Structure 1
Amino acid sequence: MHSTTLPRPPRSTANPAPARVAGSVRRTTSIDVSWPDGVEGQRLFIGAARDLWTPVAGEDGLTLAEARFEVRMTEDKAITAITAEPAPEGLQRLVGARAGGHLRMLLREVMPDLAARAHPLYLVLDDLSGTALVSAFAWSQWYPDWAERLRQRLGEEQHAQLMAQRVNVCWGLQEGNSGVQPGGVPKDVASADAGDVRNPLDPQGWHELSDRDGAGFRRARRIDVTRDEAAGVIRIDSAFQDSATRPEGGRVAIHEYNLRAVADIATLEVLSIEPEARILPFSECPGAIHNTQRLVGRNLGEIREEVLAQLRGPEGCTHLNDALRALADVPELAARIAS
């Protein structure tokens, strides 16, 4: 099916975040990417995360955990330097690793305690791979001819190889779809205003973000968790957004999902999942939502593994999968409310 027969992709942000509700735990994470040494220099990744408990709506919350890191990374996604607070044992073993599936496996190997405790540092480090994959998108907002510049820098052969590798990596880039046509990527892949995740009516609702001048990229996520003891369920309201700065100010988003889910308090069985595509680059992308129902009936604590098993490659959306995988930390967040 040609893209001209499909509706336009969704391009409307849900920002800002809703105000926190009483009795909830909110996890917020962000990774901001910049190029201090110019477009061909190494990227600087600044990650931050916080878990905030809100006993009473409208009042200050209590910080349960927080984390921060800085990473330097080459253009081919190799980590050259890393610092973090807290600084877990084994952190420096990440130097030399390349962002991607291997890095995620290495994280679980060298930081099993962080993973087991669902510490926010683990989640934001896990997000390095997805952020590294998408962050160069920021330059397309600063150079209208960015795609051609990239082609010239790589050379025709390497550029063609790069484009070929994208085919069937996800639902939206399946062979024949609009994003993988021989003529190249469509020009209008991002036009939606990203808004601001921060709600002026709830100034404590987000941790401090790293706002910088110049070309920059941000991955931001929010996970709100409440326990409904009367119904015997955990309720989840989450959001995920990838955005970039604009020369004229503000931000443009390329990916944004809202995601609601319900799980059984006692068994952690996933009872319902409701993804909402808010901003996506291609008309075909929202179709990935339907396959998420395969996760209903699965165990929430094992959802990282289930996403990889059920929604791999063209069966899912890379960015929706990232939003889903993060829900594996919800049981630990819900337990903190109970305690």
Structure 2
Amino acid sequence: MLRPDGLLGRVVVDARARDVRTGADGDVEVRAMTSLDAEIDFTGGWTLRRIASDPAEPRLESLVGDTVGSGFRRRVQAALPDQYEQATRLHLLLDDFPVATLVSGYALGAGGIHPTEEALERRTTADLCSGWRSGGTIMVGIERDRLIPVVTGPEAPSLDADPDAWHSRPPLTAHAVRRARRLDVWSAGGVIEVDSLYRDSHVDPEGGETVIHEYTLRGQVDPVDFTIRAMVATPRVLPWVECPAAAASASRLVGQDVRTVRPLVRAEFIGISTCTHLNDQMRALADLPTIFTL
């Protein structure tokens, strides 16, 4: 999520997803790649101004002019039902737009630009998640100072130690926010093993990249009926002391069909026992059957 025109300018989205298969001999085969190029008017209601994909998908044009906030995922499902049902790379990228856009707003607070009182009231939702709980650190800070507190996370470790796991990632420019995801699946001991990494990071004007959110997920899924047998979330970097408590919500996926995770999380993983960002990571587990059969 890039801001080439400065903090209050447009948000340019450079989104990429790749399917890779690793052979027993260690060879890496890139099976497919999908990319999105989009533009969002962040200060104008998060309005999608432009979007194009490679491979091309003409139906994306129907999303232009609407907000990428509330209701966007429902509109994507209605406009591209086959992409949703087939758990495609394109759908995964589109599914990330609402929360990735939300997180991109971190750049404004880090740059000293804070929401108006009206916008603050609109964006402040108590008990939305573990971190935004009533009486928690962030809510107390908002009530006291009338602005959303900004916490600077640790320096972002390089992802280049495992180059086969990541596609090319251009250097980030000032005020950019990046969401990096990895979902690895493999067969071992009669189950599908799952290992996932999720990271949001921000780049300051001097080029320093720091982590905003980071989780890992480890679990096991039945290869026959895709029932989740085990799932553990480990919080690695989160902004508020109340946030890590949400990691326990991952255990609620056990016994569920992984193919139903998207609607399940959307409907039931709400309130202070959950985390908006962990929810996004868990929702992406619905893509597992497609990846496993590549």
53, 56, 68: which one aligns with 1:87: 56
Partner residue, 1:72: 39
5, 8, 20: which one aligns with 1:52: 20
2:131 counterpart SS class: helix
Partner residue, 1:260: 218
1:160 deviates by: 4.0
2:287 counterpart SS class: helix
Partner residue, 1:27: none
Structure 1 residues 295 and 304: alpha-carbon distance in aligned structure 2, compared to 1, 3 A threshold: same
Partner residue, 1:335: 293
Letter in 1 for 2:174: G
Asked if 1:183 is matched to 2:152, the reply is no
Partner residue, 2:252: 294
Partner residue, 1:241: 199
Partner residue, 2:187: 227
Query: Could you tell me how far apart the structure 1 residues matched to 2:69 and 2:148 are?
Result: 25
Query: Could you tell me how far apart the structure 2 residues matched to 1:180 and 1:77 are?
Result: 24
Letter in 2 for 1:308: R
Query: Could you tell me how far apart the structure 2 residues matched to 1:135 and 1:215 are?
Result: 9
Matched-pair contact (CA < 8 Å) for 2:114–2:148: no
Query: Could you tell me how far apart the structure 1 residues matched to 2:166 and 2:25 are?
Result: 15
Per-residue CA deviations over 1:102-136 (Å, capped at 9, x if unaligned) read 11111111112222222212101110111011102
224, 232, 237: which one aligns with 1:274: 232
Query: Could you tell me how far apart the structure 2 residues matched to 1:170 and 1:237 are?
Result: 24
Per-residue CA deviations over 1:160-192 (Å, capped at 9, x if unaligned) read 4135x3312112101111111112467562221
Per-residue CA deviations over 1:254-283 (Å, capped at 9, x if unaligned) read 100000111111111110001000000000
Query: Could you tell me how far apart the structure 1 residues matched to 2:233 and 2:212 are?
Result: 17
Aligned residues: 289
How big is the alpha-carbon RMSD for the aligned residues of Structure 1 and Structure 2? 1.8
Query: Could you tell me how far apart the structure 2 residues matched to 1:173 and 1:295 are?
Result: 23
Structure 1 residues 189 and 212: alpha-carbon distance in aligned structure 2, compared to 1, 3 A threshold: closer
Letter in 1 for 2:251: Q
Letter in 2 for 1:325: R
Partner residue, 1:42: 10
Deviates more, 1:274-283 or 1:314-323: 314-323
Matched-pair contact (CA < 8 Å) for 1:170–1:314: yes
Letter in 2 for 1:250: G
1:213 deviates by: 2.6
- Where in structure 2 are there 5+ consecutive unaligned residues? none
Matched-pair contact (CA < 8 Å) for 2:138–2:149: no
Asked if 1:150 is matched to 2:114, the reply is yes
Matched-pair contact (CA < 8 Å) for 1:94–1:106: yes
Query: Could you tell me how far apart the structure 2 residues matched to 1:188 and 1:92 are?
Result: 35
1:197 deviates by: 2.1
Query: Could you tell me how far apart the structure 1 residues matched to 2:3 and 2:291 are?
Result: 34
Partner residue, 1:30: none
Asked if 1:208 is matched to 2:175, the reply is no
Query: Could you tell me how far apart the structure 1 residues matched to 2:31 and 2:148 are?
Result: 44
Instruction: Give the TM-score normalised by structure 1.
Output: 0.81
1:88 deviates by: 2.1
Structure 1 residues 225 and 96: alpha-carbon distance in aligned structure 2, compared to 1, 3 A threshold: same
Letter in 2 for 1:220: A
2:138 counterpart SS class: helix
- Where in structure 1 are there 5+ consecutive unaligned residues? 1-32
Matched-pair contact (CA < 8 Å) for 2:227–2:255: yes
Asked if 1:131 is matched to 2:100, the reply is yes
